[in-house]
Amino acid sequence: MLAIALIIVSFTFFQASREELGLSADLQYRTRVLTDSLKVSVSPSVLSHSTSTVQSIVDRIANNDRVIGLGVYNSDGTPIAVSNQLPDDISTNPIVTTAMDTDTPSGIFIPAQEGRVYIFVNPLHSDNRVIGALVVAQNAAYIDTTIWNIWQDNLVRLFLQLIVIGAALFALVRWVIFKPLSILTESVRAARRGETDTAPTGSHSFLMPLSSEISKISTNLKQARFAAREEARMRLEKLDSPWTAERLKEFMSAYFKNRPIFVVSYREPYVHSKGKNNTVTVSVPAGGVITALESVMEACGGTWIAYGSGNADKKVVDGDDKIMVPPEEPKYTLKRVWLTEKEVAGHYSGFSNEALWPLCHMAHVRPLFRAEDWREYRKVNGLFAKTLLNEIRHVERPLVLIQDYQLALVPAMIKKSRPDAQVAIFWHIPWPSAAQFSICPWRKDILEGLLGADLVGFHTQQYCNDFMETVGNEIESRIDFDHFSVTRADHETHVKPFPISVAFSGAAASRPEPDRSALEALGIRTDFIGLGVERLDYTKGILERFKGLEFFFLQHPEYRERFTFLQIASPSRESIAKYREYGEQVRAEAERINKEIGMRDWKPIVLENRNYSREELDPLFRIANLCLVTPVHDGMNLVAKEYVAARDEEDGALILSQFTGASRGLKGAILINPYSAENTAEAIHKALTMTPADQHRRMKSMRNSVRDYNVYRWSAELIKTLAQQD
């Protein structure tokens, strides 16, 4: 359209210029002819000083349409006869005197109020002598009008053409390109999700080759899916082959005829927040429960009930407070529960994280038991139970998976109203010793809440043992150590370990080299990189780890400027004073060590206080020569398994605290006591000097164990065990 406009404007310009030249030349010619003929009658009267004759000739001619004025001047420029309309100052115009002096007729266009005027001066003669001049002023405004009309006509035409072309282009793009493309995109999307049996349709002929290629890919995809399902079906009973999302899906439909799954957790898997310019952004919060269950829900579908904590969460849900997620490829329903600030403060920050969390972790932080928090805890548990009961009201024998210590009372609440529901609760953190748990003023209520479930799951056998012992001490019940079950008032609860894991099925991925730009952006240029990833939580042993690093650099100064430790620690539970203080201590400690050990532009510790996306974490896991996982106490710890899963090349070293659940299964890790800085330093040195063969042997064994018991198997076993309960 711009090109068309340019062409038309240039043509108009040339047409207007040509027209102007033609009209001007015509005017000049006519004026010249007029003055030549007048000269013959005017010259004798000028010579005989017959002013009245000259005046009558002037008046007669000046009455003409085109002629604005006429004047006759003698040789010194004095007017002899002048018509009214002739500009007064014309006699002094140099054109008159120049024409007489040079005895040459000449003309000029001058601007006037009503448009341009053409002034023409023709000298008068007698005996070849100049005796005066005849001046004619012609109206030239019509030339401008004509030019303006040309421009106007052409611009209107251009405008109309642009409208027609624009409309035609819009129609072309909308109906011939955009519509078939969007049909094609939709059918590709549907094929990718495995939702349709039809090939892409409705494509315009020029898209046909593309459409037929996509149709072939879609058929191949369907065949591959079918093959994967068949293979998964055949492998269902062979627990030694790896579990995959596909196998889990197949398992669910084979054993449970697609009975819907309901997950209930406090934290939600997707948080919607207000961004700039009224936009909404979505993020996945850091945390083990979410990481684990997201893979399961993506594979099985169902409903996940959780607290809507994002400030734009309400904006995006439907009338029933639901939204389909993941946002880029919806697979299951997220139902949000709304809580007040007071409820969050009492239930989450208070009882869950200031009482139960320190009670269950041996991190030497005293639990705070406040009656007010306990009241909120009960209330919020009731709210979650009510929401779930409403969701399952039309569902027969629903499978319910309740998550973690924030919802300990929900199992009993559900079973009371819906005894047919099959309810499991998974406790993602350690279970303390019976003696340790006995300090909780509401220990019986918590145990009764948990024992409402048909199945209580922990990460390790040790936590199951501790739980059984606690129940034996606190609650009147029949405990069966053969089957690991507790029976109270005819209701039996099974207690079993399910070591949670990550979504790694060991598929050989020939991936391109990891992108190192994130390290460069952080100014990390050393040969060796160590990595730590966690929430800023005192149980994760970040301060202990820093002590170990300091000790290492003091003992092995040769690693200064050759080894950097990158600690990614996302802010967590910041409404709690203990967590804020811990964050400050971690930052201050990193600064102190950097000041004391750092050299030139090298810092031994680079601390990143933010949440990283999965896409950002993956290359870091792949690049890091070692990963330091040093919690002082941790139920399982997924970071250790994520590091192992990311090491496609089967190299690198994992340094792992002996106080994590993960240390039971990851035999190839270098186990340490995080309270000993010497022990940590030794392990770092061992990791940095380990031979490639040793790294390979250890990593291979750890990858096998993570692959064999990945999160798909974790959920399959949890759900299968739950479904087997009466």
Q: Which is nearer to ligand ADQ, 140 or 292 (CB)?
A: 292
Closest-CA residue to 256 (of 455, 426, 398, 395): 398
| 314 contact partners, CB below 8 Å, separation of at least 6 | 308, 336, 338
Q: Which is nearer to ligand ADQ, 265 or 470 (CB)?
A: 265
Token digits of residue 271: 């948080």
Q: Does 642 bind ligand ADQ (CB under 6 A)?
A: yes
Q: Does 500 bind ligand ADQ (CB under 6 A)?
A: yes
Query: How far is Cα 699 from Cα 641, in angstroms, rounded to an integer?
Result: 11
Q: Which is nearer to ligand ADQ, 642 or 717 (CB)?
A: 642
Instruction: Give the shortest CB-489-to-ligand ADQ separation in angstroms.
Output: 30
**Stretch touching ligand ADQ by CB under 6 A, among 94-102, 169-177, 309-317, 631-639:** 631-639
Instruction: Give the shortest CB-531-to-ligand ADQ separation in angstroms.
Output: 11
Closest-CA residue to 72 (of 11, 29, 14, 133): 133
# binding residues, ligand ADQ (CB under 6 A): 25
Q: Which is nearer to ligand ADQ, 337 or 503 (CB)?
A: 503
Instruction: Give the shortest CB-486-to-ligand ADQ separation in angstroms.
Output: 22
Instruction: Give the shortest CB-442-to-ligand ADQ separation in angstroms.
Output: 22
Q: Which is nearer to ligand ADQ, 122 or 637 (CB)?
A: 637
Query: How far is Cα 385 from Cα 305, in angstroms, rounded to an integer?
Result: 10
**Stretch touching ligand ADQ by CB under 6 A, among 136-144, 195-203, 390-398, 611-619:** 611-619
Find the binder of ligand ADQ among 449, 635, 652, 665 (CB under 6 A).
635
Encode burial over 166-189: b for 16+ CB neighbours within 10 A, e otherwise: eeeeeeeeeeeeeebbebbeebbe
Task: Name the DSSP letter for residue 117.
Answer: E
Query: How far is Cα 459 from Cα 265, in angstroms, rounded to an integer?
Result: 17
Closest-CA residue to 715 (of 252, 381, 114): 252
Query: How far is Cα 207 from Cα 198, in angstroms, rounded to an integer?
Result: 17
Instruction: Give the shortest CB-404-to-ligand ADQ separation in angstroms.
Output: 7
Q: Which is nearer to ligand ADQ, 225 or 667 (CB)?
A: 667
Instruction: Give the shortest CB-485-to-ligand ADQ separation in angstroms.
Output: 23
| Contact between 130 and 123 (Cβ < 8 Å) | yes
Q: Does 612 bind ligand ADQ (CB under 6 A)?
A: yes
**Stretch touching ligand ADQ by CB under 6 A, among 114-122, 146-154, 565-573, 599-607:** 565-573
Q: Does 353 bind ligand ADQ (CB under 6 A)?
A: no
Token digits of residue 571: 């802010």
Query: Which residues in the 259-318 window bind ligand ADQ by CB under 6 A?
Result: 286-289, 291-292
Token digits of residue 142: 């019509």
Closest-CA residue to 296 (of 265, 272, 320): 265
Q: Which is nearer to ligand ADQ, 485 or 663 (CB)?
A: 663
Instruction: Give the shortest CB-158-to-ligand ADQ separation in angstroms.
Output: 58
Q: Which is nearer to ligand ADQ, 429 or 716 (CB)?
A: 429
Q: Which is nearer to ligand ADQ, 215 or 637 (CB)?
A: 637
Instruction: Give the shortest CB-502-to-ligand ADQ separation in angstroms.
Output: 7
Q: Does 568 bind ligand ADQ (CB under 6 A)?
A: yes
Judging by beta carbons within 10 Å of its beta carbon (0-12, 13-18, 19+), is residue 291 exposed, middle or buried? buried
Query: How far is Cα 598 from Cα 591, in angstroms, rounded to an integer?
Result: 10
Query: How far is Cα 87 from Cα 85, in angstroms, rounded to an integer?
Result: 6
Q: Which is nearer to ligand ADQ, 71 or 631 (CB)?
A: 631
Find the binder of ligand ADQ among 140, 263, 486, 639 (CB under 6 A).
639
Query: How far is Cα 218 from Cα 211, in angstroms, rounded to an integer?
Result: 10
Closest residue to ligand ADQ using C-beta atoms:
288
| Contact between 429 and 466 (Cβ < 8 Å) | no
Find the binder of ligand ADQ among 399, 636, 644, 656 (CB under 6 A).
636
Residues 509-548, mask of contacts with ligand ADQ (x by CB under 6 A): ------------------------xxx-------------
Query: How far is Cα 703 from Cα 695, in angstroms, rounded to an integer?
Result: 12
Query: How far is Cα 490 from Cα 311, in angstroms, rounded to an integer?
Result: 45
Helix (H) or strand (E) holding 125, with range, is: strand 115-126
**Stretch touching ligand ADQ by CB under 6 A, among 265-273, 332-340, 581-589, 636-644:** 636-644
Q: Which residue has the tokens 């409903």?
A: 303
Residues 22-51, mask of contacts with ligand ADQ (x by CB under 6 A): ------------------------------
Beta bridge partners of 138: 67, 118
Instruction: Give the shortest CB-569-to-ligand ADQ separation in angstroms.
Output: 6
| 635 contact partners, CB below 8 Å, separation of at least 6 | 288, 427, 428, 429, 430, 458, 459, 463, 660, 661
Q: Is the CA virtual torsion 713, 714, 719, 721 positive or negative?
A: positive
**Stretch touching ligand ADQ by CB under 6 A, among 211-219, 371-379, 384-392, 629-637:** 629-637
Q: Does 388 bind ligand ADQ (CB under 6 A)?
A: no
Q: Which is nearer to ligand ADQ, 185 or 283 (CB)?
A: 283
Q: For residue 263, which phi and psi values (nearest 5 degrees)?
A: -105, 135
Query: How far is Cα 137 from Cα 132, in angstroms, rounded to an integer?
Result: 17
Query: Which residues in the 391-430 window bind ligand ADQ by CB under 6 A?
Result: 428-429
Q: Which is nearer to ligand ADQ, 569 or 597 (CB)?
A: 569
Q: Which is nearer to ligand ADQ, 203 or 705 (CB)?
A: 705
Find the binder of ligand ADQ among 139, 218, 526, 637 (CB under 6 A).
637
Instruction: Give the shortest CB-204-to-ligand ADQ separation in angstroms.
Output: 45
Q: Which is nearer to ligand ADQ, 78 or 517 (CB)?
A: 517
| Contact between 547 and 677 (Cβ < 8 Å) | yes
Query: How far is Cα 542 from Cα 363, in angstroms, rounded to an integer?
Result: 12
625: number of Cβ within 10 Å: 18
Instruction: Give the shortest CB-415-to-ligand ADQ separation in angstroms.
Output: 23
Q: Does 680 bind ligand ADQ (CB under 6 A)?
A: no
Instruction: Give the shortest CB-639-to-ligand ADQ separation in angstroms.
Output: 4
Q: Which is nearer to ligand ADQ, 629 or 699 (CB)?
A: 629
Contacting positions for ligand ADQ (CB under 6 A): 286-289, 291-292, 428-429, 500, 533-535, 568-570, 611-612, 617, 634-639, 642
